[in-house]
Chain A
């Protein structure tokens, strides 16, 4: 193990050089996850064509899960890999990458162009200490999928959903993401935000408090309820959706992209699938679900910064975002796209999604985000083991320690 880890450090130090040639269009490597709808490939091709021979964008695939993507990127970036020109950054990496000086800031005209017409919350995820570090490519927020045939009125709160699920019996399962991974942090953060709280009070101190106890109470109640899926503590997005498609569940909280998945894979279930806002925690209050999505960052060690900034602007331009929304069910970061007739046709709930994005809660913007998320995942998994007041206290002390690079997680 020790030798292995040390050898890993060696490889990182040795680095992975390489880069574009001197003549012809610059090759820009765009590190991003695989998008099954092909909209990233489409945008990359369009932009390469439109650049007039200035650059060609080559997609370098990252692993499917966010943890794996980050691990691969940070190892390359820590080794100052100059082949990284463009990065599809998960919204939670901004502060870490900026603080470590792994990405270039957006300023002047570039920044002004990105800010124009872009939703406020996605911009907030790309900002750290007053500087813009990324250009929002797309956005993401969960919605509630429910079975219209089983549930005439979609639940407004988690308590209501739990009651409805229990009444339905075996068909009334509620699908969430509660495996020990980033999705668990997202669920907790959404509940916490909806209960009026947040994870951090300041960059050095955890907040949590009574809203955290309320959020943990929801998690615990679901975990020990008969409406919980027996595999709940191992469930990620896909498992949740498979259960919903299979007719085992009457509810699932999940991302909008699954709308087209259900349409394709389970047309019968799709015919009776309804979409509603993510349930709230406090009756009468809106929910504040966690914002996701990716921002385009320009690698700090790139040999083609000018081309990279121009390419990023192109990748996120209106036609490309529209293509991604219509074909890949991605939520865009451009505000007025939600009203586009083609979009409304492909994604009938787009206005509901826009409201969710406007009211979304952010995950903590701090370089130590990974530590915080790891602390949340470890403390809250499995959700059936939660004891709201004492778990909240335990979580607070772990986060406080992690913010000082201490403690074991």
Chain B
């Protein structure tokens, strides 16, 4: 998918470099460019209507006291909502929770996803069934998966606590509940990671491996020196997708603990303000802050992405 696009960009960058650079955007190139813009104009307009407008509206709301239950009390309050959010322990605690869930789940997913991708690529017989089986968890609705995990781990209905000889309910203390949330996320989305990595794996040319083998490189060396560097753009895209997804984690936490025992994520925090309290002001401030966090994560990844692209061009 997107990593495919990334590689296309990489390939296009190479010939451009080979052609000794005389900067003259030809008539044809300019016409193509114009056509390109025209072709995406409808999409851009629709995106503006369904994303830019709500985002701007949220920014405006975040500067107001706006509570659906007290429609008469709406007023402009400047940055007070942001002050309330940022000065609250709850925001920082939820941000930390979210970061922990994101980093831990994405890291585990990367390792397992890579193994699964290699299995999916190398499988000689039964390739179709193997790929299908690996993808099953991703096909299950998150809420359903989370409920299954909840019932498995709860002390009264589940088999896990007795299997592990636990004396307490794992979902009733912070550390163990966080672990269950992370494992649920990993179980659910590793196939997605594996799928993205498989696409990257397919782009590593076999000749490189053969050449390296002839030169006497071990499997381990070939993995680290050839596969990983060649796959870097695909890995980064996979990490970016999953990190952004994981940062917005909602369903699993909502079902497993509903944020109890200090396992709340920032999305649940926003939900509580907006949907439960109907406090559009504070809720929008939370949403805007989440948006900024997501944008920051994306920027960090894109920077890393740019660096690997440059390294490949050298």
Binding site for B on A (CB under 8 A): 1-3, 5-10, 67, 71, 74-75, 78, 96, 99-100, 179-181, 230-234, 239, 242-243, 367-368, 370-371, 374, 378, 381-382, 401, 405-409
Contact = CB atoms under 8 A, between A and B. Distances in A.
16 contacts: A1-B250, A1-B294, A2-B291, A3-B54, A5-B270, A8-B275, A71-B275, A78-B68, A179-B260, A230-B172, A231-B169, A243-B156, A370-B276, A381-B261, A382-B172, A408-B90
Given A2-B290, A99-B69, A407-B282, 20 more contacts: A2-B287, A5-B283, A6-B55, A8-B274, A74-B278, A99-B70, A180-B261, A230-B169, A231-B155, A231-B156, A234-B257, A234-B260, A242-B156, A243-B156, A367-B69, A370-B278, A406-B84, A408-B91, A408-B286, A409-B277
Given A231-B154, A374-B276, A381 B84 contact: no
A408 B84 CA distance: 7
A350 B172 CA distance: 36
A9 B276 contact: no
A92 to B, nearest CB: 13
Contacts of B51: 3
Interface of B: 50-51, 53-55, 57-58, 65, 67-71, 73, 80, 84-85, 88, 90-91, 154-156, 167-169, 171-173, 248, 250, 257-261, 267, 269-270, 272-279, 281-284, 286-288, 290-291, 294
B72 to A, nearest CB: 9
A232 B169 CA distance: 9
A180 B172 CA distance: 11
Contacts of B90: 378, 408-409
Contacts of A367: 69-70
Contact of A74 (B53, B55, B68): B68
B88 A405 contact: no
A198 B222 CA distance: 70
Contacts of A232: 172
Contacts of B279: 371, 405
B280 to A, nearest CB: 8
B290 A1 contact: yes
A360 B175 CA distance: 38
Contacts of B154: 231, 234
A5 B58 contact: yes
A232 B282 CA distance: 32
A2 B85 contact: no
B71 A100 contact: yes
A234 B68 CA distance: 31
Contacts of B258: 179-181
